[in-house]
Amino acid sequence: MRIKTIFILCFALLLFSGCANNKKEKVETSPVLSEIQKKYIDEGWLLKSDSSMDGELPSSYGVKPKYGLQDNYFDINMGEGCDIAVKIIDLSNDRYIRYIFVSENSSITINQIPQGQYYLKIAYGYDWMEKFEDGMTHGKFTRNCYYEKSVDVFDFGKKNSQHTINYILNINIQNGIVNNNFNTIKIDETEFFK
């Protein structure tokens, strides 16, 4: 009986010590930077973590947010394929009212859209970089960039209307093709940042 107990204790000790030394170490890899990213870093740009960026971008990006009294909203659902930066623009004066970042496979609700008509400018891509210069933050994607403007106009009603209006925007990239539930046209980077 004593030999059996010693054998069981030795087996348990070997089992526990073997499991304790079988920890998988997480190996961190640094991203491979493209030549353009290296150039931007040399010029003072910073590569940002996309997951920490979801939501409205700060006013330092040059967009003073405007809010309405009613809870009109956009639900933006970004599927697979890239991250996006969306500018909501007042059709009557071409002024930006919001600037939003949505990372891949994320959803966000933009509340209190003022009454009026709006169109969107959308930047698609990866590896958001930003630079603070002359009191402003400049940001852009530096990998797989693509830009569009909505053809559809999103009507959030007239002033003093009592109706709450909401739009759901579904955005997906499948096999390199943009698949949205609204109509867009391609624009260039210069047009996006106008």
In the chain (194 residues long), the average pLDDT of successive 10-residue segments reads 54 47 42 89 88 87 92 94 96 97 95 96 96 95 96 88 87 87 96 95
From 191, 167, 166, 192, select the one nearest 180 (Cα to Cα).
Answer: 167
- The 10s digit of each residue's pLDDT in 113-124 is 999 999 999 999
E strands of 7-103, at which residues? 46-47, 55-56, 73-78, 83-90, 96-102
| pTM across the whole model | 0.80
Q: What is the pLDDT of residue 119?
A: 98
Q: What is the pLDDT of residue 20?
A: 45
Q: What is the pLDDT of residue 49?
A: 72
- CATH 2.60.40.10 assigned to domain 47-192? The reply is yes
Q: What is the pLDDT of residue 22?
A: 43
From 149, 50, 61, select the one nearest 106 (Cα to Cα).
Answer: 50
Mean pLDDT, rounded, of the chain:
86
Q: What is the pLDDT of residue 158?
A: 79
Residue 122's CB is within 10 A of a number of other CB atoms, namely: 24
Q: What does residue 150 show for φ and ψ, rounded to 5 degrees?
A: -75, 140
Q: What is the pLDDT of residue 168?
A: 96
- The 10s digit of each residue's pLDDT in 84-108 is 999 999 999 999 999 999 999 999 9
Give residue limits of the domains in the chain.
Answer: 47-192
